Amino acid sequence: MKTVPPEGYVLVTGTSRGLGRALVDALCGAGVPVVSVSRQPGNASGRAEGPFQARTFSADITDTPTVDRELDRLFGEWGVPAMVVHNAGVLRYRGVQWEEPEESVRETLDVNITAPVLWVARIVPEMVKAGLGGQVFLSSTVGRDNRTGWGSYALSKWAIEALSANLSRELPEPLYSFTLNPGPVETEMRRKAYPGKDPANPRPPAVVARPMALFFRTLIERGGRKYNGSKLNLDAIEGGKV
């Protein structure tokens, strides 16, 4: 029977594959309790290597009634998370903006920005009451530099940067919010982005997830307010520049 982890737990969205799945494994490996959110719970990972197993709830992050129900249950049992990692994302289209199909535009913005905004509205008031908590948003180079050919995916990442920046000015201490660009990661999304030759040398998700998990663990132990409003890059964290 799991009990409430005293140092708090991390809630990660989009854990059926790719970076999210690897992050759950890495957090477990680093002894950090995790709750993973996947719309395919059979695929969600979470090796029980630490004292607390990863626990999973099954939800499409855009399905507000299910998310609310599951979060109510979770908060009732484990309290509010020490950190939420908004990792779930979709890349549906590469090409010029005006040729992106409506369905792709709507789904991309729904998953990549509307859902995180609604999750923030649901979770931050609980964090304020508890007097702790961080919001971490997975971003991308295309959400920070102007690049052509990324359609609404790029718009959604610019919007996530704006969400985090605005939140960081509104959150009371010691709460915090920052964005994190993981750099190129060898995932389904990356293969879709570069179906031919990849101009970079993407690293396997497990390799990227390890330093992320260790960084997150230090934030849970020491607080993360010093990163409030930051636009972080994983390579800078790994290089000790953060």
Ligand X SMILES: NC(=O)c1ccc[n+]([C@@H]2O[C@H](COP(=O)([O-])OP(=O)(O)OC[C@H]3O[C@@H](n4cnc5c(N)ncnc54)[C@H](OP(=O)(O)O)[C@@H]3O)[C@@H](O)[C@H]2O)c1
Least spacing, CB of residue 51 vs ligand X, in Å: 26
Applying CB under 6 A, does 111 fall inside the site for ligand X? Answer: yes
C-beta nearest to ligand X: residue: 18
Complex with ligand X: residue 152 or 187, whichever CB lies closer: 187
**Nearer residue to ligand X within complex by CB, 15 or 228:** 15
Q: Which of 2, 40, 129, 218 binds ligand X (CB under 6 A)?
A: 40
Using DSSP, state whether 6 is helix, strand or coil: coil
Instruction: Write down the residue that tokens 């059979």 correspond to.
Output: 42
Q: Does 154 bind ligand X (CB under 6 A)?
A: no
Q: For 34, how many CA atoms within 13 A lie in the half-sphere containing its CB?
A: 33
Pick 57 or 227: Cβ nearer ligand X: 57
Q: Which two tokens stand for residue 201?
A: 């040398």
Residue 99 φ/ψ, nearest 5 degrees: -105, 0
Kindly state whether residue 151 participates in binding ligand X, applying the rule CB under 6 A.
no
CA angle 176, 145, 155 (to 5 degrees): 75
71 contacts ligand X (rule: CB under 6 A)? no
Q: How many CA atoms lie within 13 A of 137 on its CB side?
A: 33
Residues of this chain that interact with ligand X (CB under 6 A) are: 14-20, 39-40, 60-62, 87-90, 111, 138, 140, 181-182, 184-185, 187-190, 202
